[in-house]
Amino acid sequence: MINSILIVLAFSLDTFSFGISSGADKKFISLFQVVYFSILSFPLFLIPILLSRSLSTILNEKICFLVNGLVLLFISFYYFGKFIKNKIVKNRQNLALKGEIDKNDEENLTEKVKMSPVPHKLLFINIIPMNLDAMFSNFFIGFSFGNVFFVSLCFIVFTFLALYLGNRLAGFISSHIKIDFSFISALLFLALALEKMI
């Protein structure tokens, strides 16, 4: 059960990052939009789990757990790659901007800007990308989850809190500060993969 909670927590970090990036861009996500996002994300999380459980009744249990571990390992590599890629892009951007921003520009960047609401269309478009990892991964590892109702409840709660707290937290952070949680996700999935395969 703890493994299931950790997996759901790792998936929610993508949503948390989306909340952070929206807040850093001075985009406010309302409470209604957070609920809306969480509810529409739920089927994308649950359906692959149900399909995975059906598939596991056909395949050998050892094979299922081996595939489970390999998928988790692959996901951890994906997040490590994502983290490294983001670092490279950020360093290139910093080098490109170096020497082009004078003192007055820096003062303008740090000025407080009123947060504007996130358009519903933008929120809807991001529902699938933010849940792609969960969709594909749950198809292969969903059979190993414990109580489906409990895991589903954790997903809804974690998604809600990740988006809400991420957006609100970023509201207090300067818009030029970016936080990348890919590395944390990678470590979580790597630990879970090793636990499954050892």
pLDDT digits (tens, 9 = 90+) for 93-108: 777 666 554 444 544 5
Cβ-count burial of 139 within 10 angstroms (0-12 exposed, 13-18 middle, 19+ buried)? middle
Residue 84 corresponds to which tokens in the numbers above? 């490294």
More confident residue, 79 or 167: 167
The pLDDT assigned to 146 comes to 74
Q: What is the pLDDT of residues 110-150, one digit of tens each?
A: 444 566 788 888 788 878 877 877 777 777 777 777 788 88
Residue with tokens 């997903």: 155
Indicate the pTM of the whole model.
0.64
More confident residue, 151 or 81: 151
Max Cα–Cα distance, the chain, nearest Å:
66
**DSSP 8-state code for residue 27:** E
Separation between Cα atoms, residue 90 and residue 110, nearest integer Å: 19
